[in-house]
Every structure is written in C-alpha cells, then in structure tokens.
Amino acid sequence: MNRNLNWTRRAAAGIASIAVFGSALSAQDELPSREEMWAIIQKQQEQINALLERVDTTEVKIVETEQAIEVTADQVESTASFVEGYVASGSAQAGAGAIGRTNLGGYGELHYNFGKADSADFHRWVLFLDHAFNENVRFVSEVELEHSIAGAGKVGEIELEQAYVEFDLNDTDTAKAGLFLLPIGILNETHEPATFYGVERNNVEKNIIPTTWWEGGLAYRHTNDAGWAFDAAAHTGLFTPTSGSKAFNIRSGRQKVGSAEASDGALTTRVTYSGTPGLQLGLSAQYQADIAQSTLSERIDATLVSAHADYQRGGFGLRALYARWDIGGAAPGVTGADEQFGYYIEPSYRFETEAGDVGFFARYSVYDNYAGSASNTEDAFFDIGMNYWPIENVVFKWDVQFTDYADSSKDEEIINIGVGYHF
Amino acid sequence: MNTFAQIRIALVLSLALAYSAFGDTPDEDVYLAPDAFISESFDDSPPKPSVLWVTNELKPQIQKILGHDYPALRIRYWAQQSRSAWILEEIGKVKPITVGIVVEDGKIVRLKVLIYRESHGWEVKHSFFTDQFIEAELTEKLRLSKNIDGISGATLSVNALKRLGGLALYLHQQVQP
C-alpha cells in the first residue's frame, strides 16, 4: 500500500510541475494551444495509469512470492523435523532400505616377533557384517583371514567366526541361534587389538580356553539393571585327537563348525557381574559330553571351570583369570592330560598425553596341558610392555616376553611389536 | 541323543535357577522414547525445540571431540534458561547409540541411553554406568573433567558415550547467551 501511495504522490507532483511549467510558458509566444495542452495531459494521464497498473501487478506478485517462501520454509522445516525424528526414534533401523540396516566393521593386527626365530605376520584381518531385519531381530557375522594368505599348503585360513541370528525377546532377554563365540573368559568375545595389552594374546586364553572359540547351537541371555548377566548355551562339542602328541589337547579339539562331528554336544553357562563401573567378575562352567565324539570305547567327558576379574579404576587396570579342565575316562590320564589348567594376572596403568594414550603392563601367566602327570609340565611366562593409542581405534604395541618352559631348552626372550586397528 | 536330552534338561534347569534367584527386574529407563526424555527433563512442560546449525565455525571443535564430523547439518535441542537438552547419536561398535543428555550451567545433569542397537556392551544402558557422567564438565582441551570408568567388553560403546557427553557440553556452550 505504501508503494501505491508513493506512486500516486509522484504522479501528482508530476502533474503539478507540468502545471507550473505550463503557466511559465504561457508568458511566451510559443505556448502550445489549449488543445495541444489537453492532448499532453491526456497522454501523461495514460502513462500514470499504466504505471499504477504495473505497481499493482508487482505488489500482487510480491505477496504471492512471500506466501510461496513461507510455505516452502514450512515444508523444509517439517521435512527436517521428520528426518530428525525418524533418526532419533530409531525408525531408520527398521524402516530404511537394506543398506541403512546393514553395518560393516572390522579389525586387524600385524605382528613382528623377534626371538630364536624372527617372523612377521599379518595375524588377523577381520570383517564384521551385521544386518538388522527389524528392531528386535538381527543377523551378526564375522569373517577372518588368518595369517594373511589362505589356500592349499598356505599358512593361513579363512574362517567364519560368527554367524547367528539374534532375537530380543524383551528389554532384558535375548536368544540367538547359529554359530557364535562361547561366553568364557575375557578375550573370547572381545578381542579387538586396542582392547587388550600385549602384541600376542595371553597363553592361558589360547591353550586352556582356546580363544577364539566358536561353536554352533542355541544361546540365551538374561540381564538385569543391577548389572548381572546370565548366559546359557547348548552347542557342538570339541573333538580332540585321541593319540599322538596332541592327544586330548584342547586347542586341537576345535572343529570350528566345519562339517563337525556332532554326536556329543556341550553346555556352557556363565554369570557375570558388572554393576560397578570399571569392574567385571565372571564365572563360566562348561560340560562336554565326550571330547572323543564316541570314537573310543569309553566316554571322555570334560568339565571346564573359569573365573575372571577385570578391574579398571582411573588409569589403573587389573586383569586376572583362572581356568581348569577336568577330563574323564582312563585314556587322558596316561599322559596327564586329564587335568589342564592355567592362570594369569596382569596389572596395567594407562594415561593420557597430548599425542594420545599410553599404557604400560606386566603379565605373569602359567599354563599346563598335562597337569595330571607326575613330572613338571608347567610353562610360565612373564611379559612386560606398552600400548600406545594415537587415537582410540588404532594401537601400537611393544612387549618383551621371558619364557620359563618346563623344558628349559626351549626358553627364549621374545620381543614383539605390533599394530592393530578396529572400526 | 541322550546327551542332547541331558543338555536340554540342564539348560532349562539352569535358566529356572537364574530366574528364581534373581528375578526379572526390567529397567524401565533402558529404552526411553526421545519425546519422553525431553518431557521428563523439563518437568513435563518442555520448551519448543530450537535448531543449532553445524557451521564451519563449529566443525573443527566437533571433529576434535568426536574424531569425525557430526553426521547432520543441524542439531535440534531444547533450551530453557541455563538448561539445555540434546538427543545425539554415535556409533559404538558398528551401530549407532541414541543418547539423551541434559546440560545445566555447563555440567551434565542427566545422561540416558535411549536406543541401544549393539549386541554387546548392554551394561552402558544402565544407570550404574551412566550416572558417572553427572557433574562432568568440559575441560579446555575439550575432554570430560571426570574420569569415566569403563565396562569390560564394552570399550567401544563406553567411548562413544564419552564422546557424546563432551559434544553435548560443547554444544551447550554455543547456545548459551
């Protein structure tokens, strides 16, 4: 409206100035005639009307444009709110396309070992592939390439370490079916390189608890808000050699669920408490019906009991674990494999620096796969070293291992250097 | 077959024992709808949401806290006087964790895991863990002023929550007059 008034004022001023100009001219001889003057005024009036019309049209357009901007802004706002709400409510997980519901992750570690023999090994390259079918049902898998190269006659292998479907029954109970990591010890379920000290995994959770250890079957978990978790799993069993140097060796008994002998299964239960931040206590028990899978005339049943504590307070950390096998039947007793045990204790200290975190650790570990024999078959290790995390997903490791084998001719000092990552 | 029958019986018995010993105590705060979190955080009368654009000015600091850019152009928040509430997301191991954080006078006064999608690290959902964040402030180096003790086996989820705690404190500073 203001614009309209301005234009009217300008037009009036124009007319007034023309009138003044006209009266000034009247004093001169060349004054236009009245008819000519009338024609000029009419022409000017036409121009004023045309201008006023253009002003009106422009104003209508401006109002329309303002309305369009307002509507567009509303739409942008509501779209953004919808997207934000969609993400915040987790609908993206259930409603988005397959790509949005599928997640990739992975980890890997390269090791250098300098002892009696020197070696370099890209020990593990692992890829996680998870897919959420909906909010409560998901698929979890993990594929590992060990020792960098696999194939006939090669040192490495490709392994499917996890592949299961998990169902959330409610907020506290889950069930899973498929191939999964057994709930035993500290490292078996969580072994990304940046989460533990030492280039190589400890020997107890390698030779007594044969980490990484997976089996096929069914598992159930109940947790509560006080920090207790209860796991129970029924799954395929071990099938150890029954003769030779590896007779009744636990680590050699993993079938890795590859066309596995399944006539005799196993049951694993675990209870953990982590209701105090920084502390986890765990107790696992496993019963194997026959680790010879009915290939001997006697039943070789076996029981594993394992307890662990993992404590972190400020920079201080302490991990301790004990595990023991009692193996039935007469055959394992011949070599002393009827009892196998191991333990370790690992204090550590981690602190922040400008360039990332640094941690130091020491570990004393002992294990014995022939503890039932009369002779000394116990191997002990002392490790000391450091981890450096430039960022939390990447770790550089360095440690020295002093060995104390039952057979002292095998003793050596090993320097280990490694780098690991996860994402 | 006998073995599996025995295993099944043992499984059922052990579960029954676990239930009878400790009972079923669902934690109502575990999965809290974002709307309910905001409502609760302002005594059931939440202010209208506001929007903070992730401008080029904020990006370097956010990157320093998270280790990467925040995956959104703008972040919605709710503010009333010296209190602000944020709903933020960060990847734990492979999946995003949705967390609600309330900041008042530069300190975290409430932190709740609203949606947890990882199959491990369930402990971080619970108040025995998240209560550690209360009273935490942001240091000049953009770190939390309090030590947060971790959870064994849930390091990645714990770290994700620590990053989000720092981010909420930083964003709060940006919207306070």
Please name the fold of domain A105-422: Porin (2.40.160)
At A384 the three-state DSSP class reads strand
Of the partner residues B7, B23, B120, the one whose CB lies closest to the CB of residue A267:
B7
Q: How many CA atoms lie within 13 A of A354 on its CB side?
A: 0
Q: How many CB atoms lie within 10 A of CB A89?
A: 18
Question: Closest approach of chain A CAs to the CA of B134, in angstroms?
Answer: 14
Question: Chain A to chain B, count of Cβ pairs less than 8 Å apart?
Answer: 149
**Inter-chain residue contact A220 with B11, CB threshold 8 Å:** yes
Contact A266 B95 (CB under 8 A): no
Give the single-character DSSP code of B144.
Answer: B
Compute the nearest-CA separation of A128 from chain B (Å).
8
Interface contact A314, partner B, CB < 8 A: yes
- Please report the residues numbered 159 through 198 in chain A whose beta carbons come closer than 8 angstroms to any beta carbon of chain B: 166, 170-172, 174, 186, 189-190, 192, 194-195
Whether A161 contacts A254, CB under 8 Å: no
Q: What does the pLDDT look like over A308-365, one tens digit per residue?
A: 999 999 899 999 999 999 999 999 999 999 999 999 999 999 999 989 999 999 999 9
Which residues lie below 8 Å from residue B39, measured CB to CB, with a gap of 6+? B46
Delimit the domains of chain A by residue range: 2-88, 105-422
What's the pLDDT score for residue A93? Answer: 41
pLDDT score, position B152: 83
Look at A220 and B115 and tell me if their CB atoms are within 8 Å: no
Q: What stretches in chain B show pLDDT beneath 50?
A: 1, 19-30
What does the alpha-carbon distance between residue A287 and residue A199 come to, in Å, rounded to a whole number? 31
Contact at CB, A234 and B7, closer than 8 angstroms: yes
Q: How far is CA A79 from CA A84, B3, B98, in A?
A: 9, 59, 20
Distance between CA atoms of A220 and A270, rounded to whole angstroms? 11
How many secondary structure helices (H) and strands (E) does chain B include? 5, 5
Closest CA to A286 of A188, A183, A372, A403: A183
User: What confidence score (pLDDT) does residue A376 get?
Assistant: 94
* Predicted local confidence at residue B28, as pLDDT: 33
The closest alpha carbon to A211, from A349, A306, A103, belongs to: A306
Which chain B residue has its CA at the smallest distance from A286's CA? Answer: B7
Give chain A's residues under pLDDT 70.
1-29, 80-99
Pair A235, B7: CB distance under 8 Å: no
Could you tell me which of A253, A255, A357 has the C-alpha nearest to residue A300?
A253
Q: Does residue A88 belong to the interface with chain B, where contact is any CB pair within 8 Å?
A: yes
Quickly list DSSP for A335-372: HTTTEEEEEEEEEEEEEEETTEEEEEEEEEEEEETTTT
The reply to whether residue B24 touches residue A391, judged by beta carbons under 8 angstroms, is no
The alpha-carbon gap from A232 to the nearest alpha carbon of chain B, in Å, equals 7
Per domain, the residue ranges of chain B are 27-175
Cβ contact, residue pair B30, A225, below 8 Å: yes
Report CB contact under 8 Å: B74, A80: yes
Helix, strand or coil, per DSSP, at residue B51? strand
Contact criterion met (CB < 8 Å) for A289 and B6: yes
Residue numbers in B near A223 (CB within 8 A) = 122
- Residue B100, token pair as written in the block: 């609600």
Report the distance separating Cα B123 and Cα B69, nearest Å: 27
CB neighbours (10 Å) of residue A293?
23
**CA of B58 vs chain A CAs: smallest distance (Å):** 20
A397 Cα distance to chain centroid: 21
Min distance B119 CA to chain A CA atoms (Å): 8
pLDDT in the model for residue A69: 87
Q: How far apart are CA A129 and CA A353, in angstroms?
A: 34
